[in-house]
Structure formats: structure tokens, C-alpha cells
Structure 1
């Protein structure tokens, strides 16, 4: 009961922080437990449903998905109208009466982390192990949330990061604050500071994969350095994380438990529970695209990356006749009811599949691809290929597997980027990839139906929620 009250208290305060008025300060919560002990702070950091969710809107503006007109009504019911507005490249995703849960969830997590960090400053208990764990976890969660926010609601890190608008940087518990948008560089500087401090005090292992540990801090650092274009540190910190956890499932060992219903079948050899998935270094989840029945599907371009074997719809579905096991375990030609999707489309298995919505944090496969990309950009072609082929060997049917080769670092980089698109699809990372790769001149546009978002369009940066803008006059909206 005490733990429940702690969760309730912080959730109420966090919601009020962004959606209500300051009159809350005049009310003393009754029947609530105010967290004061190290055990209280550890409890606040142990609620995955409270602080474990990450961005969802970023899925809907990329070239990974397709929303057929026939399925738009279902999409409205499941991911919501904001997702459809993102898919349609609209200027605003939420009006002033609507909530942007991506923004709310991130700042709620930041609020809880700030509460823990503030409380630890005055706590006098002598257990340094608990103190380090609570502080380190709060720092990682805060840093992860800011890295997500700044890549969703701001321009990508670049030579203009010092003057580009980032997001409000709240480092204290103050529900009266009306902060301006810190620069992109300032936000990244704080993220780096938090993560380096956390990595220094956290243990290598944690009881549950949704609780940050040293490997998790290293992993978020590696992602951050990749976004900053610091290839040497990307490789360094991805390597440090992999030195602690390098487990990667071999999909050759998997099997559909029910081959006659691949759309809903469990996968033998792949744990259904987040807690038992050994490849997850830092557990985060998103609501995800989802297409068990009739919502968003693979885009033709995304599905084509599998090099799929043509399927005869008049014949039984044969899940093992594929060129890539990620097709078998990550997609389905059938909705949950068993009906085929329109136009031979493929649904996204975001539960009970390799594109699990629980893969939205840091995974070992992302770490391998982070290091491989950094090595390719550092002209270490063979080392990059070694990482790439190690991963692919666990994804391609053994009888069809052939090592990839590259004559130049540029060729190796292109292979890594292609593999990144396949392996990390639907994890929420593609939007940041589009933004950063377009800064290199790769000219990636996104077409949804009859609408196209051209490369480097300002609408690849999502708008600050209208409700937040109405409550904080110090904020400036992103160009639309």
C-alpha cells in the first residue's frame, strides 16, 4: 500500500506540472506517503509502467509503415488521432484540448527522477550502495527521457546545435517553473553529464532489465554519441556495454509454436516476458504501431528489405521458406482473425515477435550496430563487417547465409545502415536516423499515400503540444 501511495503521489504531481494550474500548491495531499528514505526512492525507480514508456509518435512519420485507407478507422481507435495526423504530416498533432502522451510521459519520468535526486541530497542514511543505485537510476532515466525528447521535438544535433532550440530543461522539482527551450547542445551536455555520473556509480548488473545499470548507461551514451557524430566514443561506449552483456538470440533456434496461426503464435525459444529477454540491456516500451488486425502495416519499401520470396496466396503459408527469419518472426500476412491483409500487405508483429514493443530501450543488437556504424565511419572496414556478419548470422537461415563483404568503408557503412533499418525497425529510432542521415545529403523523403514529406522538411521535427504552448508563454513553436 505504501508503494502504491508513492506512485500515486508522484503521478498526480507530474500530471499537474504540465496540465493544470498552480492552485495545486495550496492543497496538501491527504493519505499520501511522501518519499523520504532510500528505499522510497528505489521504489520510485522500480515502476516500469510509470517510468518505462518511451516515444510513440515517432513511429508514424517514417518510411517503415503503411496505413491503407481501409484500416484508418481502426487506427483511429487504437493508436489514436494524433498518430494519424503524424502519418498525414499535419502541422499540429494535438489541439489544445488533447494530451500528447509522448511529452507527458517523458516529463513525468523527468519529474520523478528529479524528485529522487533532490531527496537524495538531503537524505542522511549511510547505505552508499542503495544511494548510488537510486541516484544512478534516476540519472539514466532522466538522460534517456531528454535524449528522446530532444530528438522528437527539436532539430538533429549539428554544427548549429548551440543555437538550435531544444526542449525545456527541468533539473529541479518546481511545478511553478515556466522554462524556455534550452539549446540542443545544452540538452546534450546535460544528458552526457548525467550518464557519465550514472555509469560511474551504478553496478554492472541489476535485478531486472528495466532497472538501469552500468551497461544501460553505456548504451545510452553510445546512442547519444552516434547522434552527435562522435564515432570514436560511439564505438568505445557500445563496446563497454557489450563487454557486460553481449547476448543475442539466434533466430535459427526459434520456431513458431503454431504454424497454422503465425499472426498470434508464440515463438518457441523466445521468452514472452520482458524480464526474461536476455538481449534487453535497458528495458523501455512504447505503445507501438501494431497490426494484429487492421491498422498499420509494413511499407512496401520496409518489407522489401527482407528480400522476400514471392508468396502464392492460394497455397498454405510456409513461414520457414524465407530469406530472413525477421520476416517469419516479425511479420504476418494475416490479421489476428486469420484474414489476409489488403493488397498482400504484411502486418507488424509487435508482440510475440521480433519487433516486440519492449525493444524500445537499449538492446544488444542496437549496440552491435552502433559499434559497426562507428567503425565503418572510422574506416575500420573489416571490424565493422565482423560485427555486422556476427549479427546477420543469427538472423539468416543457415543454409542461405553468406558473409557480407565491402571494398570500401563507404560500402561497409551502407551495409550497416541497411541492416539497421531491418533490425531496429519499429523501435522508434528511424525518425532520428532520417534526420541525421539527411544532414549528410542522403535525401531521404517519406511518402504516405499521395503525400510526401521531402528530405529536411521542418515537419520531421514534431510540434510542441498545443496545450503545453498554451500553459507556458515562454515557449516558441517549431517551424511548420
Structure 2
């Protein structure tokens, strides 16, 4: 296990100064030798496996830097906030490298599982490790797809603008981009196999589970506009556990009201730490704050008291400064509600919304939703998604997918330090460019500009 730790640490140190896929570890010297070693690779949650991209959070419309905050953050983060033509300026891109590290480790685990010797009583453990590796690989590709791949639609599904699909650990082999459809099918295949191997609930919330795999499938199908399957897998996930915290019982006095690994969390991840996520001088956009009505406890629990700079976010389910980007029951309920609303299952969608809201609104003022039309129900679902899933790393994906409908498409506009920045609907900049060093190394096709 010590050798695995050394391998892990050396890769992390190496990727701090060069592109991950340029790193060629000598695996023959440091091969995992047991299930404990393989489990240890996947359990490196705080260093590698449970980390997600974050620049898309800056690019979305949840934060609005003040002049003080703007002057304090590095250029790459400013570029993300304003959709610059060259966001990275030749620098390292953790949002690209980190998911590919996760894919590498998942592939190492999958390959070594076929070679390590196990005892008869370890068969179930071996299967769980395999299911976890498949989940982590699919999860990493999902994160990449929402930044570096155009949004899914039938018109572009067969375009070769998907991800380079790696189901082997040899990083010296150059892989070109698959189609968008092939990338999604790769994720779906991994997750469907993982479901048959994973336990319903994991021993630790940093590990994948059957419920998490169902939920990630629901996410993917929602992105694809396949609402029947989004509903199916969200319902399967909620059938295992749909528990919510009652925000009426959460003490607003602590600086961070929510505890890590609380009862809503299904699978725990946090975003890469950029300086914009820690500065009170980069507060929540006032347009988001204005969505909360009187009696909505989220306005108190999610956001700090007003200062001269605005209101900072404090509502992470990590219980600290890190942005929680994992899977939780609140999101799954909202996915199920949206999928049902889009299939005109209005009463079922309203029932789910009321279940969520009775745990979010002050009990003294809560009034159940009733007598909504199908369109009103969908609008309310999308509103609650916006208000509940704040800074979860999902807003950028939502803006991309909702651009397909004139009723929900928006033009992003930000005024920062006296200058107005605009991102039109369906701009090619909704897809982040693949980093320059990766384009040069692999010769893969860049994203359109």
C-alpha cells in the first residue's frame, strides 16, 4: 500500500508541473498487489478521485466579483468569469487533468482486478471495487463532457467532438476524440455494469453506490433530454433513500450551517479549489438572491449576512469553504420532478416539489403548491432547481441544455468593474476549449470557435 501512496503522490506532484497524460509512471515497479491496494487507490478521495472541475462555476451566473475580488484572483479565473477567447493562456488546466487522473486510476484498478489473487470470501469485495472503478470512470467523463464537449443534441450526436475514450491505463497511447454519442454511450455502459456490482448504499459516502449510479444515470438522461429514463433512474435512486434535512431544524448561527456527509448526501465530491471560491469579495449574484421569497430558509442558510461586498455563499454540504459538487437527494428529487413535469405527470411532479419545499420553507408560512398547469409546474421545478442547487457545479450544464427551448434560453451578461460582458445563446464558448498543450500533444480536433 505504501508503494501505491508513493505512486499517487508522485503523479500528483508531476501533474502540478505538466499535463497529466504526458506523465509515464513505471507501473511495473509499483503495481497494486491486493484488493486493499486497489481499494486504497479509489479511496484517495481528497487528493484525486472525489474532485471535480470548477472553472465552469465561474463561467455561470451564480457569482459576481466586486472590484476588490476581481483584483485578487489570477488571470485564468478572470478569463473564465468573462468567457475570454483564451481562458488558460498556456497554463495548467486542472479541470481537464484531474478527471483524466481519475480515469487512469480507474483503469489501473480494472486491469489489476483481473490479475490479483483473491480468497473465496473476497469475491463480493472484488465486485464492489470493480463497480466503483466503473462508476468513477463514468463520473470523470461526465464532468469532462459538461465542459469540453458540446451539449448533446441529435443534430450533433455523431460529430467527432466527444472525449478521447480511454479504457486502458497506458497513458503513452494517444487517443483521438470519439463522437458525442459514443462518449455518452461509454458512460452509460460503465454505469449500467456498475449497478450490478455496487451495494445499494456505500459504507462511506466518498465511495460509489447503486443509488449514486442510478442518480448519475438520471443526470445523464436529463442532459440528453430523455425524460422517461431520467424519471426511471431518479425514481430507482429515491426508492433506496429519499431522506431530506428539515431546514427548520438547522441552526443558522454557525458560519457553516451544514455538516459534511449529512443525510441527504449520496456521493460526496467537491470542486477544485480556486481562489474565487474562498473570497467574500466574490459574492453571490444579486439576481440569484432576489429569487428567494420571505420564509424561504435557504436565503438564511445558504448565504452569509450582507456586507459592503454583498452576500457570500456559506451553504456547502461540505461544511466548509469547499463547494459540494456531489450527488444528494435534493437534486435527485428535482430531477424526478422535472422529468415527470416534462411528461405531463403534473400531479406527481407537484407532489415531489411539495416534499422538497416543506423541508425548505418556514413551517409557519409554508403553503403546498396546488392547481398548477403543466407549464407552471415545469417553470416552478426549474426555479426550485436554481434556488436549491446553488454552486453545485450544475448551473453551467443547465444553461447549456435549457438554451434549446426559447422559453428557458438566456443570454448571460455580467458587469464587472464597470465593463459589461455578454455571452449569447448557443455561443460556441459554452464549450470550453481543450487545453493547448493537450491539442499539441495529441493532435486532436479543437472545439469550434
- When residues 164 and 436 of structure 1 are mapped into structure 2, their CA distance, relative to the original with a 3 A threshold, is farther
SS at match of 1:181: coil
For 2:172 and 2:341, how far apart are their aligned partners in 1?
47
| Contact 2:434/2:447, CA 8 A, preserved across alignment | yes
Residues 214-254 of structure 1, C-alpha deviations (whole Å, 9 max, x = no match): 11111111101111111111111111111112121110001
1:63-82 equivalences under 5 Å are: 63-74=61-72, 76=73, 80-82=74-76
- When residues 231 and 19 of structure 1 are mapped into structure 2, their CA distance, relative to the original with a 3 A threshold, is closer
| Contact 1:6/1:44, CA 8 A, preserved across alignment | no
- When residues 12 and 288 of structure 1 are mapped into structure 2, their CA distance, relative to the original with a 3 A threshold, is closer
Q: Does 1:88 align with 2:57?
A: no
**By how many angstroms is 1:86 displaced?**
0.9
Equivalent residue in structure 2 for 1:171, among 167, 170, 191: 167
Which ranges of structure 2 fall in alignment gaps of 5 or more residues?
none
Aligned Cα root-mean-square deviation (Å): 2.4
Give the ranges of 4+ consecutive aligned residues of structure 1 lying more than 4 Å apart after TM superposition.
Answer: 9-17, 19-22, 288-293, 350-356
1:306-385 equivalences under 5 Å are: 306-307=292-293, 322-334=294-306, 340-342=307-309, 345-349=310-314, 351=316, 357=322, 359-385=324-350
- When residues 233 and 466 of structure 1 are mapped into structure 2, their CA distance, relative to the original with a 3 A threshold, is same
For 2:206 and 2:304, how far apart are their aligned partners in 1?
28
> Matched residue pairs, number?
438
Q: Does 1:7 align with 2:3?
A: no
Which residue matches 2:412?
446
For 1:8 and 1:198, how far apart are their aligned partners in 2?
27
- When residues 99 and 353 of structure 1 are mapped into structure 2, their CA distance, relative to the original with a 3 A threshold, is closer
**By how many angstroms is 1:5 displaced?**
2.6
Q: Does 1:426 align with 2:422?
A: no
Equivalent residue in structure 2 for 1:37, among 34, 39, 44: 34
Which residue matches 2:54?
56
Residues 148-188 of structure 1, C-alpha deviations (whole Å, 9 max, x = no match): 10111111111121225112111111221221111111010
For 1:238 and 1:20, how far apart are their aligned partners in 2?
35
SS at match of 1:347: coil
- Larger mean CA deviation between 8-17 and 204-213 belongs to 8-17
TM-score using structure 1 length: 0.86
Equivalent residue in structure 2 for 1:466, among 426, 436, 444: 436
**By how many angstroms is 1:402 displaced?**
1.2
For 1:470 and 1:67, how far apart are their aligned partners in 2?
33
| Contact 1:166/1:182, CA 8 A, preserved across alignment | yes
Which ranges of structure 1 fall in alignment gaps of 5 or more residues?
259-264, 308-321, 335-339
- Larger mean CA deviation between 417-426 and 5-14 belongs to 5-14
- Larger mean CA deviation between 437-446 and 366-375 belongs to 437-446
Q: Does 1:278 align with 2:263?
A: yes
For 1:20 and 1:122, how far apart are their aligned partners in 2?
24
SS at match of 2:263: coil
